[in-house]
Amino acid sequence: MSTPKSTDRIERRVAPGIVQRHAVGCRGGGRGRPCSCAPAYQAMARLGPRGARRTVSATFATLAEALTWREEVKDRARVGQVAAPRPAVPSLEEAARDFLRRVRDGQALARSGRPYSAATAENYETALRRHVLPHVSDRLGVALAEAPADAVDGRVMQGLVSALAVGSPSVARMAEAALAAVLRDLYARGILDAVPPRPALPAPPRARERYLTIEEGEQLLEAAVRDDERTGRSLMAPLVALLLGSGCRIAEALALRWGPGGLDLDAGSVTIARETTKTEAGARRVGIEREYLAILRRHRLATGRPEDGALVFCDETGAPLSRSGRVRAGLARVGKAAGLGPVTPHLLRHSHASWLGQAGEPAPDIAARLGHADPAFALRRYVHADRDRVAAPSKRLAELRRQARES
C-alpha cells in the first residue's frame, strides 16, 4: 500500500458502527506502523423504523467510550427513548474561532463567571493565532489547528508550553491561558467531558526593576512633543502625558473617550470603565495634574474638537488604535530620542507608581490609582525605591540620631 500523503486522513472501521479516525498526516494506524497521533473514534447508530430511519453519531477519545455510547443509544431506542447525540468535537481551530466569537458576544465567561475584558480577549486572540494554532505537536504529529479539540491532552499542552518557553516564558504562559480558556468553554458547553490538567508553567517574569525618574519623565515628554511637531500629528505627547499622569494601562488609555465618563478635562480626571479594564478594581476615577491636562487639552483642539463620546486616540478614520504599530513604534522612537533606551507603556505605569510612593502616598491610594485590589501587590510589583535617595545618607536617620543625642 502506498504511503498516505500529508493531506490524507486515515479512517478505519474497527468495530460495528465504529470508525477510527486519525489526524491528517498520521503515518500509522496500520500493520507494523505505530500511530503518531491520538485517533478519535466516531460511533454511529441507525434509529427508527424502516423507511424513516436516521443516523446519529458522536466522536469519542477512546474505543470503549464509543462502544458504550452506541449500546446505550440502541438500548434506549428499543424502549422509545432516543438518546440525543453528543455535539461533534470540532478541530481546535474551529473551537478557537467559535470561542473568540462567543467572547465578543459576552457568552463565554472567565473563571470568575464574568465576561472577558477587551484587553484579555485581545491577548488571547493574539496568542491563539500566533503561537497556539500554528504549533506542531510532537505527540499528535500535526499543527494544533488541525487536531480535534478532544485530542489536546495534558501532554500536548505541556509540549506547547515547553516549546514556547524556550523563546519567551511570558508568551508560553499567555498561550497556555488562551488554550485552556478555549477548552474550558468546550467543557462548559458539554462538548468535552473533561479539561486537561494544567501543565508545569515557566516561572513568572521577575518584578520590573526599571522606572523613569521625574527628570527622565520630563525628558521623555519633551521628546514626545518634538516628535509630534516633526510628524505633524498629535499622538505621542498626549499619550505619554496620559500614561505618566494617570498610571493607566495602555489598553485602558486606547479605549478612553472624551467626556465625563472618560477623559473629563473640566473635572481634571480620567474614568476607566469596567468593560475596558481587567478586573472590578480596575474600574476607577483618577485625577491628573494640570501640566498633563494642558497637553491633553491641546490634543483635543489639534484633533478638531471631537464631541464627548469620541475616542481620545484614534486613526484618521476614527477607528481605535492598536497597542502595536504606530503606538509601539512611536514610544520606542521618542525613548531613543530622549536618550532613555527602550520605553514601553508598562514602564510609564511603573514610573507613575514609583513617583506616588516617593511622594509618600498611602499604599491603598496607590493601589486604587493603579486599579489593583491588593495594596501589598501594588507596592511589591510597581513601587520602586528612589535610587539617588538610597545612595545618599538618610536625612531622617540623621535627624533621629540628633534628637537622641539631645534628649
3-class secondary structure per residue, 219-260: HHHHHHHHHHHHHCCCCHHHHHHHHHHHCCCHHHHHCCEECC
pLDDT in tens, 90-102: 899 999 999 999 9
Q: Are residues 269 and 351 in the same domain?
A: yes
- Same domain (yes/no): 301, 345: yes
pLDDT of residue 3: 46
User: Domain range for residue 315?
Assistant: 214-390
- Among 5, 117, 14, smallest CA distance to 62 is for 14
Q: Note whether residue 241 is domain-resident.
A: yes
- Domain-embedded: residue 5: no
Q: Which of 219, 259, 212, 255 is nearest to 237 (CA)?
A: 219
**Does the residue 139 lie in any domain?**
yes
Cα separation, 290 vs 240, whole angstroms: 14
Identify the CATH number of the domain in which residue 269 sits: 1.10.443.10
DSSP element (H, E) containing 300: helix 290-302
Within a domain: 395: no
pLDDT at 343 over 70: yes
**Shared domain check, 223 and 108:** no
Within this chain, do residues 250 and 370 fall inside the same structural domain, yes or no? yes
Contacts of the segment 29-37: beta carbons below 8 A, 24+ positions apart: 30/1, 36/140, 36/141, 37/140, 37/141, 37/142, 37/147, 37/151
Residue 8's pLDDT is what?
A: 55
220 and 369, same domain (yes or no): yes
Same domain, 272 and 386: yes
Q: With 0-12 CB in 10 A as exposed, 13-18 as middle and 19+ as buried, what is 163?
A: middle
The domain total for the chain is 3
Residue 196 and residue 43: Cα distance in Å, rounded?
23
Residues 282-337 pLDDT 10s: 899 999 999 999 999 999 999 999 999 999 999 988 899 988 889 999 999 999 99
Q: What is the pLDDT of residues 125-141, one digit of tens each?
A: 999 999 999 999 998 88
Same domain for 296 and 383, yes or no, is yes
Residues 119 and 49 in one domain: no
Identify which of 120, 147, 148, 122 has the alpha carbon closest to the alpha carbon of residue 135: 147
Q: Where do we find the cell 487639552?
A: 297
Of 80 and 47, the one with more pLDDT: 47
Residues 52 and 25 in one domain: yes
In a shared domain, residues 251 and 291 = yes
* Single-letter amino acid, residue 310: A
Asked whether the predicted pLDDT for residue 396 surpasses 80, the reply is: no
Q: Is the domain of 129 the same as that of 165? A: yes
Return the sign of the alpha-carbon dihedral for residues 378, 381, 382, 383: positive
Residue with cell 522606572: 211
Domain limit, last residue, from 52, 78, 104: 78
Within a domain: 372:
yes
Residue 206 within a domain: no
Q: Residue 283: helix, strand or coil by DSSP? A: coil
Question: Is 199 among the domain residues?
Answer: no
Share of residues in the chain with pLDDT > 70 (%)? 86
Asked if 139 and 266 sit in the same domain, the reply is no
- The residue count of the chain comes to 407
Q: What is the pLDDT of residues 229-256, one digit of tens each?
A: 999 999 999 999 999 999 999 999 999 9
pTM: 0.60
Q: How far is CA 141 from CA 12, 25, 26, 122, 266, in A?
A: 19, 7, 7, 29, 60
Virtual torsion, Cα 174, 179, 180, 182, nearest 10 deg:
130
Of 173, 188, 203, which residue constitutes the final position of a domain? 188
**Final residue before a domain boundary, out of 53, 78, 103:** 78
With CA atoms as reference, report the closest residue to 17 among 45, 41, 50, 40. 45
Q: What is the 3-state secondary structure (H, E, C) of 94-110?
A: HHHHHHHHHHHCCCCEC
Q: Which residues of 186-225 are buried (b: 16+ CB within 10 A; e: fewer)?
A: beeeebbeebbeebeebeeeeeeeebbeeebbebbbebbb
| pLDDT reported for residue 7 | 47
- Asked if residue 403 is part of any domain, the answer here is no
How many CB atoms sit inside 10 A of residue 101's CB? 11
The C-alpha cell at 356 is 506616588
